[in-house]
Structure 1
Amino acid sequence: MNNSQINITEEPDCAHGHNKESITDKKSFRLAHGILTALLLIILLADCIYSVLAHQPPDDILTQNKQLTDNTWLYVTKYYDYGHKVPLMYRYYLAGQLNGDFITQLSEMKPFLVADVDNAQITGSGNAFDVSLKGHIFSFTNTEKYRKGDKPTVALISLNASPTH
């Protein structure tokens, strides 16, 4: 061998042929991977728990059940939150006649009006309804899809509202 062709090889530091640096890198990678996996699992679990809690039926009680037209009933529920400090809310629903557990059936529907009062004056003729109230409105939609028996129906809702103060 001549002097210009010197072949220098590193001897492995362990019996498996790996040097100490690569073993440390692998352990660090495995540790970082384990920590990241655990964090992602915690985030996923927290999201699942939040999703279940956020989509549970509300703790409502039925305050009104009144027929407005031949095939349309008004249902009003009061949000009843056991001791939590939330504003008092009333949810207004239009539907065909419901039987059985009203709250469960209503929890599957969207209210057309959410307000802080339960004394809104609602009148209707056919599929048109007029709502008049004095109070705070949290949400409102002027069209509501619901079922009258087996037939899907769209209600057109007009609103006349004024604040309480």
Structure 2
Amino acid sequence: MRYSTVIKYGHRTLTLVLLLLVVCFAFYHYSQSNAYDDRLYASKQLNENTWLYITQYQGGNATVSDVFRYYLSGEYSEDPLKAVKEMKPFLTADTGTATVTKIGRLLTVRVKGKVYNFTNSVMYLSKGNAVFPVIELYASGTE
């Protein structure tokens, strides 16, 4: 009888510890996915259905380098900063002067500086149509 009581309380304790781990992991994941503290640095129309929005991180100080995030989207009539906070950037770099051109589906990005993050898997809506651009990245060292 005592053996089954120990098993029962051990099982309950283990279940509570595992539940606590899952809750802590979910909280950590949620806290890491909050929107960035960015300001709109620049916006540029690349062609008739594609806009480039560049944001700059404003939470840094003298020891934190500049961080610029590049987003692709259709045109926004409202504040584009609200819209890009819900999107993921396709490029994160230390410069806001990357040259971005778009011809058809081909998007060419030329960056001089550090590239922190890049993905060529981008999809956005423009005038109700899904657009999947092909992205080429040319990066050279720091300026």
If asked which structure has higher relative contact order (CA below 8 Å, sep 6+), I would say 2
Question: Unpaired runs of 5+ in structure 2?
Answer: none
What does residue 14 of structure 2 align with?
A: 36
User: Percent of counterpart pairs with the same letter?
Assistant: 35
Q: 2:102 aligns with which of 105, 111, 124?
A: 124
Shift of the 86–47 alpha-carbon distance from structure 1 to 2, 3 Å rule, reads: farther
Q: What is the CA RMSD across the aligned residues, in angstroms? A: 2.4
1: distance between equivalents of 2:81 and 2:22?
31
Larger Rg: 1
**Could you list the runs of 5+ residues in structure 1 that have no partner in the other structure?**
1-21
Q: 1:141 to 1:32 in 2, by over 3 A?
A: closer
Q: CA deviation at 1:150?
A: 0.9
CA positional deviation for 1:137: 1.0
Task: Indicate how the Cα distance of structure 1 residues 82 and 90 shifts in structure 2: closer, same or farther if over 3 A, else same.
Answer: closer
Question: In 2, are the aligned partners of 1:57 and 1:104 still within 8 Å (CA)?
Answer: no
TM-score by length of 2: 0.82
Bigger mean CA deviation after superposition, 143-152 or 88-97: 143-152
Q: What displacement does 1:101 show? A: 3.7
Which residue of the other structure, out of 58, 80, 88, is the alignment partner of 1:80?
58
Q: How many residues are matched?
A: 142
SS for the counterpart of 1:100 is coil
Q: Whole-Å Cα distance in 2 between the matches of residues 56 and 36 of structure 1? A: 31
Give 2:117's aligned residue.
139
Residues 138, 150 of structure 1: CA spacing in aligned structure 2 closer, same or farther, 3 A cutoff?
Answer: same
Letter aligned with residue 115 of structure 1: A
Structure 1 residues 141 and 39: CA distance shift in structure 2, 3 A:
closer
